[in-house]
Amino acid sequence: MEAVFGIHAVTSLISRQPEQIIALHLLSGREDEKLSMIVSSAQQLGIQTQSHDRESLDQLVGEVVHQGVVAICKPLKTYSEAWLDQLLDKTEQPLLLVLDGVTDPHNLGACLRTADAAGVHAVIVPKDRAAPLNATVRKVACGAAEAMPVVSVTNLSRTLNDLKKAGVWVVGTAGEAKQSIYQSDVKGSIALVMGAEGKGMRRLTREHCDLLINLPMSGEVSSLNVSVATGVCLYEIVRQRTFVK
């Protein structure tokens, strides 16, 4: 079991995966429209609710900003490689985000939030080098963790190879790449590969990319945070897919 806290995260959980919720814990005495909507939805779904004073609710989740609502729920599920195969079969131009070694839950949550906003069909992570889908991820993602399918794969290099066989163009980000994303054609079926914080993509991952691109850096810093870089790249892909013919 794990705790999901905050208005946005709990609202999304109730609307998308209410069967995951075991119990809902609320701050007694707090009355506002958003919290009332959560309580009403929970009652309609038959979800157990309990009221607590602030000290008791704080002790339940530790030093986090819970906004007066905490859901105790089952862990988020990940999707299988067989599910990914089915997605590719039924999706005309899939847009996938591949995270190679992103182990910080805050970065994973931010990436899921951006992926959801950009219309990504699924996020792919390796089983051995990825942040867990925990309460921090859910909080940072602001509801996107419940909406965005996360596919956990045993062998990332093999998965990238399978994507290529399915007609997906695998685009990796690397500082030493000779062309920027703005010089590249990233329309069509795309799997965008983002590397780990600091180290970037692993060698085998890099070797399985069809194209390497970079983000132009004009200041003193040599790289962006992975979640920020993911947002920049995804929205350039969205721009080209939407507006460039």
Q: Is 215 annotated as a binding residue?
A: yes
Is 167 annotated among the ligand-binding residues? Answer: no
**Radius of gyration of the chain measured on its C-alpha atoms:** 20
Do the annotations mark residue 45 as ligand-binding?
A: no
34 φ/ψ angles, rounded to the nearest 5 degrees: -65, -45
Contact between 57 and 68 (Cβ < 8 Å): yes
| Residue 35 DSSP label | H
Please, which contacts does 179-185 make with residues 24 or more away whose CB atoms are closer than 8 Å? 179/213, 179/214, 180/213, 180/214, 180/215, 180/216, 181/213, 181/214, 181/215, 181/232, 181/233, 181/236, 182/216, 182/236, 183/213, 184/211, 184/213, 185/240
Q: Which residues are annotated as a binding site for S-adenosyl-L-methionine?
A: 195, 215, 224
Residue numbers in the known binding site are: 195, 215, 224
